[in-house]
Amino acid sequence: MLLSEPFRRLRACLWLMPLVVWAAPREELRAALEKAIGRSMAGKPGAVVVAEVASGRLLAEHRLELAATRLAAPGSAVKPFILLALLESGKPGRLVCERRLRLGARRLDCTHPVTALPLEPASALAYSCNWYFARLALRFQPAELARALERAGLVSVTGLAAREAAGAIRTARNPDELQLQALGEDGIQVTPLGLLAAYRRLALLRAGSDARLAPLFEGLEGAVAYGTAQLAQTAGLVAAGKTGTTAAPSRAWTHAWFAGYAPASAPEIVLVVFLEQGAGGPGAAPVAGAIFEAYRRVRSAP
């Protein structure tokens, strides 16, 4: 398989990037992260995984077996990879959001602030605009989009757990299925560990110098600063990330995701929070915020 230029640089980064020198011993960081995870996940069904960006090693985890084997649709957490594919292929654009979106029997109306101006790629990602990503997904052939999602590493096996499931991507059969896949609602299933691996690749790409990808990283930072992931904010640390919400197979419940990394400009940690039967995407963001805060405190300790 031919790799795009950003991914060729990423492969080089994996070999050349030095290990992060922490301001505190790794065990101190692990203890702080696990304490924050334990408090914020008390009484919540789900899994959390935190890894070091440079090495890919796990720093902390909660219910690792679930993180390795639980398959679910990623919801809007997949949108950064749709934008990545659009930017790499030269297919991004500006669209005025029409807000009401129907795909087959599914109603996926936008709930972000109303704007009469066309959304740029970065703001569309920060606001998680369903209209934007559904409509621009139609610029791809179904097999082309499926390959882009596979290349992003979303369905990879990481080797971070003894028993691990691989995710799955189905090639869309019609325009509605293609758009639902771009929204992470259908045609794709990932594990929390698989999503962690994909976001680690984004964090590694953040260290690159490809100006084409700037809207992607601006959008991830904007999601935490003013968009759908604001509850992951922590004072004194700029983080980047994305929430996601998707219906459980029975559609009686929704699952909630947050995936992201920090510091935003030079990522050192990457994390995924998955809440089964969660209260929507924002339900996962406060857990991420508690983890980012624990990391900030250890990192800034004298």
* pLDDT for the residue 208: 80
CA 90 vs. chain centroid, Å, equals: 22
pLDDT less than 70: residues of the chain: 1-25, 248-253, 278-282
* pLDDT for the residue 283: 85
Q: Which residue has the tokens 């957490």?
A: 77
Picking from 73, 81, 219, the residue whose alpha carbon sits closest to that of residue 148 is 81
* Residues 71 and 275 sit within 8 Å (Cβ to Cβ): no
Element (H, E) at 278: strand 269-278
* Interacting residues of 61 by C-beta distance below 8 A, sequence separation 6+: 47, 48, 49, 50, 67
Rounded to an integer, what distance in angstroms lies between the CA atom of residue 64 and that of residue 164? 10
Rounded to an integer, what distance in angstroms lies between the CA atom of residue 257 and that of residue 42? 17
Over residues 94-147, the pLDDT tens digits come to 999 999 999 988 899 999 998 888 999 999 999 999 999 999 999 999 999 999
* pLDDT for the residue 7: 45
β-strands 58-62, 188-189: how paired? unpaired
* pLDDT for the residue 155: 95
DSSP codes, 200-257: HHHHHHHTS--GGGHHHHHHHHHHHHTSTTGGG-BTTB--EEEEEEEE-TTSSSEEEE
HSE-CB at 196 with a 13 A cutoff on CA atoms is 32
* pLDDT for the residue 174: 97
Q: Please, what's the b/e burial string for 53-63 (b: 16 or more CB within 10 A of its CB; e: otherwise)?
A: bbebebbbbbb
* pLDDT for the residue 195: 98
Architecture of the domain defined by 22-300: 3-Layer(aba) Sandwich (3.40)
Element (H, E) at 197: helix 192-206
Overall residue count recorded for the chain in this entry: 302
236: amino acid identity, one letter = G
Domain boundaries, the chain: 22-300
CA 206 vs. chain centroid, Å, equals: 14
